[in-house]
Structure 1
């Protein structure tokens, strides 16, 4: 009996000791602070700081966009969380916000520099840029730094460009420049284009994407070697989120998706040119026959000219009913998912559903154009609204009226739409930043394609008339009967 009691007491001690160890381990595990990656996953949201711009983040009729936005969206999706993006007003504002309540990271086209590495941790780079000096076409082109002596050089404060100029000043003591707050690279290009300043420095990618807007702003030479662009993370905390970002970027690049995203969003493709015209004519022969009857039927159904409808569809998808963009818009008329649902389109890749839904959405947009805008301007405004959204279009009309021009004429308003990319203008209107050059190019291209299609239709009609014309009999076949029949 005594032995049994002894063993029971010993076993009880073991159980209690094991229970204490378990409770201790549980306490340690529950008291450990979650990693940065775990925090993101637990809250179900990746918070990203960005900047408004053509290559970073913007909003239009098809939703949110921009290379940095699309890349960050893909990263968030890989983590299984939602993306919450917050634009900041300046580069310095974006950097300061990293690591705060609004930003787990920054996806803002930030160049990795020694100064920034003192306060930020960076991911692996996903593309490179050079710093490009720009000047106004028609003025003397500078060939090197020494040619800038006595000129007005403008840069964005606390930018990688100002850091580079500080380095160059050691070699060129006479180098001078001015830093102006509240400006973006597109503002600098506009100021050089107008002659307000002689020189400015912008990133090569921004210059490539936006040079069509300000054609008098020309590239002179690079003031830097290629520099890496990367996501920025706070210096404090652990490396878990940075490491997850690096794994994602490596896999995204290996899959080919990164290169595809760059081609779609970092190359200016909206400008109409001779090569674009040649391609269009080839597709008139190779692709249009697959859709022409459908264009004609839907156009007749809604009282539209089929050539106009076909031109819009070409501008949207190049007559590819399987087309998909980085934003997730799909189909012949490149409908967003919300627009498709609103228009009752169940399958965006079905060409007839897409065309019918897109046509109704275009007509709905047109019905919301102010009644005092008459044709043909009403159609041009509707196309611009279809592309960029009626809110941004109305902002451009406000700017047009402020300048004493006619907000009811497309030829006037199209001059002010690109100004929505400059902070000094978009900060004064309701809907803010927009890639205003896009609807201008969109309308111009659609009108051009429509003209070609009208010409093509007339040419086809004449060809058919020639083929169907009754041939006169040969003279050798003429006889009394044939003469009577004539």
Structure 2
């Protein structure tokens, strides 16, 4: 005689029904916990930011719009090449550091929406003109960018404002306007680089 399993089937069916009702709630609980943990992380990060000394907040590199690269900070071995390359091309080290910070924040693989690449954000045609084969090689990029700054400084007879404006907007636009072009981005760029340069060189009280 076969055992009567109808009662067992009903019990199992009831258990499954209960589990179906409970499972979504468990999933929601897990999601809520994940959300809580994420919020905690954000709050912790914001709290750390608030506790940073004002001086450190000011010297942190600005966010560069359009950067699509892994973060590589200003602590790479390439920094050792800044001083000798700056001396080679007659450009102040403090100025080079200010341009790097403004251009890429020290990210060696930085790429802008316009296609500028590397530490000193060289455009492909500029990189080629300067003999830079690999714009993402930090030392090549450094030498190319520093050489370009030197060339611009010579072109504008040491006028740093015009040289920086040309580095950002191109010498053609600077020549066309007879100075800093009336572009908000370029005007902001020149102002910020000069400010960082003065801090780096110790000439800003």
Interval containing the TM-score (normalised by the shorter chain)? 0.5 to 0.7
* Higher share of residues assigned helix: 2
Bigger Rg over Cα: 1
Q: Which residue of 1 aligns with 2:47?
A: none
- Structure 1 residue 346 and structure 2 residue 133: aligned? yes
Deviations 1:313-336 (A, max 9, x none): 111111111101122221111111
Deviations 1:130-159 (A, max 9, x none): xxxxxxxxxxxxxxxxxxxxxxxxxxxxxx
Question: SS of 1:364's equivalent?
Answer: helix
TM-score, structure 2 as length reference: 0.60
CA contact (8 A) 2:91 2:146 kept: no
Structure 2: 5+ residue stretches without partners: 1-54, 63-71
Cα displacement (A) at 1:452:
2.3
Partners of 2:200 and 2:138 lie apart in 1 by 20
Deviations 1:84-120 (A, max 9, x none): xxxxxxxxxxxxxxxxxxxxxxxxxxxxxxxxxxxxx
Structure 1: 5+ residue stretches without partners: 1-273, 398-412, 419-435, 457-486
Partners of 1:388 and 1:438 lie apart in 2 by 9
Q: Which residue of 2 aligns with 1:395?
A: 176
* Higher share of residues assigned strand: 1
Cα displacement (A) at 1:275:
9.5
Residues 327 and 302 (structure 1 numbering): CA distance in 2 closer, same or farther, change over 3 Å? same
TM-score, structure 1 as length reference: 0.27
Instruction: State which of 188, 191, 197 in structure 2 corresponds to 1:441.
Output: 188
- Structure 1 residue 292 and structure 2 residue 39: aligned? no
Q: Which residue of 1 aligns with 2:142?
A: 355
Question: SS of 1:294's equivalent?
Answer: helix
Question: SS of 2:197's equivalent?
Answer: helix
Matched pairs, number = 139
Deviations 1:232-282 (A, max 9, x none): xxxxxxxxxxxxxxxxxxxxxxxxxxxxxxxxxxxxxxxxxx99725239x
- Structure 1 residue 368 and structure 2 residue 149: aligned? no
Cα displacement (A) at 1:295:
1.2
